[in-house]
Structure 1
Amino acid sequence: MSTDDRILSYLTDMDGVLVHEDHMVPGADEFLAELRAEEIPFLVLTNNSIRTPRDLQARLRQTGLEIPEHSIWTSALATASFLNEQRPGGTAYVVGESGLTTALHEIGYVLTEVDPDYVVLGETRTYSFEAITTAIRLVERGARFIATNPDPTGPSRDGVLPATGSVAALITRATGRDPYYIGKPNPLMMRSALRRINAHSQTSVMIGDRMDTDVISGMEAGMRTILVTSGISTKMSVEHYPYRPTMVLNSVADLAGRVRTPFAAESTSPH
């Protein structure tokens, strides 16, 4: 496959790529406008399972980005898609917020703490000792353990917060059972997103700001990858990993005028 092949679809991370905290990354609006003008399907991805696509749409609108609900794919939606394929019409005990509970309700799942098929752990800002204890007991009794993503911490204005991965580690330590993580870096999230827009990995690109989640999951799903340094990873940090993105850019603004052929105009070396 030539790197000059035209790109037919995009997956892009949200935080660090399109927005940074509550502000738009400069040029993100022009990038999305160009995708629309070229009629290129795209999905905006996030590992955070707290908010529904409608909530995220409103958050993005406040930064100046207009993105429809159907173009937003969360780890909660990917988790619901996975469970619907594995065990349609099942039951789950959920530790999480509306983004996750809504996604599971929409696939017909019943949320219960009485002998559920699954314990599903997602992001929440109000983890309770009681809820975690219930989850531990249900996993011990045989409920299958699913977590929306492995991120150990999340950002806040006051510093890092414990996230899904940290709470999952607590449950694992108590039960001896590891969860199956759905979100990045599991390429399952990439594949479910590609199916959502009827896209093929060979003609799709994953844009992200993290080598350890976005780039590796895109690569393992068979896509070409673009690392932007407007978020977490830097050009220097690329050298610490045994795999490499197809391209490194300062931000999505650098894709202006070449969203169809981003790799044709220059070397694909990330130096």
Structure 2
Amino acid sequence: MTDRGEIECWLTDMDGVLVHENHPLPGASDLLEQWRDQGKPYLVLTNNSIFTPRDLSARLKASGLDVPEDRIWTSALATADFLASQMPGGSAFVIGEAGITTALHEAGFIMTDTAPDYVVVGETRNYSFEAITRAIRLIGAGARFIVTNPDATGPSSEGPLPATGAVAALITKATGKEPYVVGKPNPMMFRSAMNKIGAHSENTGMIGDRMDTDIVAGIEAGLHTILVLTGISDQAEIERYPFRPDEILSGVHELLEKGPIESEL
């Protein structure tokens, strides 16, 4: 276990750690400022592949958090980074929105529905039966099947929405082909994030609110893992898993350097 004082770089999840329903969580703004003042490289990670980093930076700013777009790493960026390393200048048929299409374009990929190298499924609120059918046929014809993230549902004000993992399951059922999933809990997303900021696993910390994605991937990537209880996890949820984070905190406010002093007074 790395001592927290030895951590030189940080990765942090976004929803449930820094924000909740577009409201900043206690200590989030101060923690970001602390990292900036200390010159510590950091990235805010999200499995959401709908938005570009610029979009997410603007949304966070509207919530009261100052996170530059170059400090945001999405499953879409991780997917584009992975595919560019596998097949530079390749082609893809994409089901998704600006987050994934922009990332793939910037990585040098061509978007096509004619004999693509890959079928890439990302998050969207406008799934098309026609596009899903086309994806199934292209995979059947030999295109490699890639998914940005495994989340089966997403939140909405009216209840859960089917998300990337649910659509991927439909395609798998129709083709018999399992996708390669790049986003959390695949530790590859953390490794690509660390590459972006020049970090090493021995001195990097990961803050998350989910045992089944943030913490397990952080452990597998060799990071110092911190679970915060401001998201979906509670003690009962933690007990369900055979692994443990290095630290469990009530929230990111406990990572502020003045926090422990105040708590002793």
Normalised by the length of structure 2, the TM-score is 0.96
Corresponding residue for residue 27 of structure 2: 27
Question: Does the CA contact (< 8 Å) of 1:210 and 1:232 recur in 2?
Answer: yes
* Sequence identity (%): 62
Write the deviation string for residues 219-269 of structure 1: whole angstroms up to 9, x where unpaired: 10000100001001112311110000000001101111079xx9xxxxxxx
Which ranges in structure 1 are unaligned for 5 or more consecutive residues? 263-271
Corresponding residue for residue 93 of structure 2: 93
In structure 2, relative to structure 1, the CA distance for the partners of 1:138 and 1:233 (3 Å cut) is same
Q: d(CA) in 1 for partners of 2:16 and 2:3?
A: 25
Q: d(CA) in 2 for partners of 1:172 and 1:147?
A: 11
**How many angstroms does 1:3 deviate by?**
2.5
Q: d(CA) in 1 for partners of 2:197 and 2:189?
A: 13
Give the superposed CA RMSD.
1.5
Corresponding residue for residue 193 of structure 1: 193
Corresponding residue for residue 107 of structure 1: 107
Question: Does the CA contact (< 8 Å) of 2:2 and 2:224 recur in 1?
Answer: no
Corresponding residue for residue 263 of structure 2: none
Q: Which amino acid aligns with 1:6?
A: E
Which ranges in structure 2 are unaligned for 5 or more consecutive residues? 261-265
Corresponding residue for residue 249 of structure 2: 249
1:66-145 to structure 2, matched below 5 A, reads 66-145=66-145
Q: d(CA) in 2 for partners of 1:13 and 1:212?
A: 13
Corresponding residue for residue 162 of structure 1: 162
Q: Which amino acid aligns with 2:23?
A: H
Q: d(CA) in 2 for partners of 1:104 and 1:44?
A: 20
Q: Report whether the alignment pairs 1:220 with 2:199.
A: no
* Partner SS, residue 99 of structure 2: helix
In structure 2, relative to structure 1, the CA distance for the partners of 1:84 and 1:138 (3 Å cut) is same
Corresponding residue for residue 61 of structure 1: 61
| Greater CA drift, 166-175 or 229-238 | 229-238
Normalised by the length of structure 1, the TM-score is 0.94
Q: Which amino acid aligns with 2:216?
A: I
In structure 2, relative to structure 1, the CA distance for the partners of 1:181 and 1:2 (3 Å cut) is closer
Question: Does the CA contact (< 8 Å) of 2:91 and 2:116 recur in 1?
Answer: yes
| Greater CA drift, 227-236 or 104-113 | 227-236
Q: d(CA) in 2 for partners of 1:101 and 1:162?
A: 20
Q: d(CA) in 1 for partners of 2:183 and 2:78?
A: 7
* Partner SS, residue 51 of structure 1: coil
Corresponding residue for residue 240 of structure 1: 240
Question: Does the CA contact (< 8 Å) of 1:31 and 1:256 recur in 2?
Answer: yes
**How many angstroms does 1:2 deviate by?**
4.9
In structure 2, relative to structure 1, the CA distance for the partners of 1:9 and 1:58 (3 Å cut) is same
Corresponding residue for residue 184 of structure 1: 184
**How many angstroms does 1:26 deviate by?**
1.6
Write the deviation string for residues 154-180 of structure 1: whole angstroms up to 9, x where unpaired: 111111111100000000000000000
Q: d(CA) in 1 for partners of 2:60 and 2:88?
A: 32
Q: Aligned pairs, how many?
A: 261
Question: Does the CA contact (< 8 Å) of 2:53 and 2:73 recur in 1?
Answer: yes
Question: Does the CA contact (< 8 Å) of 1:235 and 1:248 recur in 2?
Answer: no
Corresponding residue for residue 266 of structure 1: none
In structure 2, relative to structure 1, the CA distance for the partners of 1:76 and 1:2 (3 Å cut) is closer
* Partner SS, residue 99 of structure 1: helix
In structure 2, relative to structure 1, the CA distance for the partners of 1:136 and 1:253 (3 Å cut) is same
* Partner SS, residue 230 of structure 1: coil
In structure 2, relative to structure 1, the CA distance for the partners of 1:46 and 1:110 (3 Å cut) is same
